[in-house]
Amino acid sequence: MGKNVAVVGVGAVGIEILKILKERNFPADRIRVFARTKREIKIGRDSYQVEAISDQNFDNINIAFFAGTEGAKGASVQYAHKFIEKGAVVIDNGKDFRLKPDVPLVVPEINKSDIDKNKGLIANPNCTTIQMVVALGGVFKRFGLERIVMTSLQATSGGGRASAQSLWEETKYIVEKNKDKKYFNQLDKDRNGTESSFTDQIAFNALPQIGSFNQDGFTSEEQKVVDESHKIYGDNKIKISSTCVRVPVFTSHSESIYFKTVQPASLEEIRKVLVDSQGVNFSESNSQLPLALGAEGSDLVHLGRLRADSSEKNCFWIWAVADNLRKGAALNAVQIAENL
């Protein structure tokens, strides 16, 4: 017998969940879709009736994917427990519950057995974290990880549909306004003509801030990479540090990852582990570099540019690219549901 499924939120991630449920023939008898406002949406040839979420009628739902906004007024904080009380297992994409001790934080390639510990709620990690832990998952299992230093170049869709739209509007505005000039970069100082989700211009720029700043100068996004990786690997001893940067790309995050193993490892041994790692596509050819555009629509984390640091033993560099809306969010959530 199939399951009754709910999807809460039909923004960047929710739409992708609906697409992936269909692509993977998820055994759903019925899919109910919720958001803030009632309407009909079309995804390809399929139409979905979106119900305005309210307090009533969450009966007979087995699995509920939450892809609404976060915080006190977000969908998960307001409604997840109401679905759970009626017997559903909630898989939540937001940050609200990820670090709670009784909520499993799951990337199936790494810790799918944690799914069995759920008490009605399973958290999906942050997109940046998911692709890093998958990239290094095989290495972690074989050699252990002593240190990870990562710089991310993150797509605007990672901030939701409004952020991707801001990149489009800014780019269009600048190109149209400057079409007779050879080079153009700046929006007008007053940002006339565009509304943006970003505090600084994102078009033709790179913003070294994702989330809010902590007292130590790191951002909330960078802190998530540390805390969530520790929880997923079940190893708080790994020294992790990162810089997260928003770049003018619509889809797919790119990460430059430096890592040091606990056990001695040669470049050849790391190469073999990466070839066999779950959920990755390792390219050894510098003429087939993993690119953001190439990863769009793909289910894998694409790896390349493996190098050994000649100045330090057991230290390596890798370049990792993945579709933030798929493996970074929707696909990982659906994989959790498949394991359930």
Ligand X SMILES: NC(=O)c1ccc[n+]([C@@H]2O[C@H](COP(=O)([O-])OP(=O)(O)OC[C@H]3O[C@@H](n4cnc5c(N)ncnc54)[C@H](OP(=O)(O)O)[C@@H]3O)[C@@H](O)[C@H]2O)c1
Answer yes or no: are the C-beta atoms of 277 and 223 closer than 8 Å: no
- CA torsion through residues 158, 159, 164, 170, sign: negative
Which H or E run includes 326? none
Cα→Cα distances 34→18, 82, 192, 205, Å: 12, 14, 35, 35
Asked if 210 touches ligand X (CB under 6 A), the answer is no
> Judged by CB under 6 A, which stretch of 68-76, 184-192, 257-265, 309-317 contacts ligand X?
68-76
69 binds ligand X (CB under 6 A): yes
Binding of ligand X by 67 (CB under 6 A)? yes
Determine phi and psi for 92, rounding to 5 degrees. Answer: -105, 130
Which of the following is catalytic: 244, 253, 302, 315? 253
Question: In whole angstroms, what is the distance from residue 205 CA to residue 203 CA?
Answer: 5
Question: Is 244 noted as a catalytic residue in this protein?
Answer: no
Contacts with ligand X in 141-170 (CB under 6 A)?
157-158, 160-162
**Which parts of 281-320 interact with ligand X (CB under 6 A)?**
none
CB of 252 to ligand X, least distance (A): 10
Interaction between residue 94 and ligand X (CB under 6 A): yes
Is 315 a residue of the active site?
no
Output Rg (C-alpha) for the chain, integer angstroms: 21
Distance CA 251, CA 323 (A): 6
Q: Is 12 among the residues that bind ligand X (CB under 6 A)?
A: yes
Q: How many residues line the site for ligand X (CB under 6 A)? A: 33
**Does residue 9 interact with ligand X by CB under 6 A?**
yes
Q: Which is nearer to ligand X, 76 or 111 (CB)?
A: 76
Site string for ligand X, 29-58 (x = CB under 6 A): -----xxxx---------------x-----
214 three-class SS = coil
Q: What is the DSSP string of 298-310?
A: -SSEEEEEEEE-T
Which positions lie near ligand X, rule CB under 6 A?
8-14, 34-37, 53, 67-70, 73-75, 78, 93-94, 126-127, 157-158, 160-162, 324-325, 328-329
Active-site residues: which are they?
127, 253
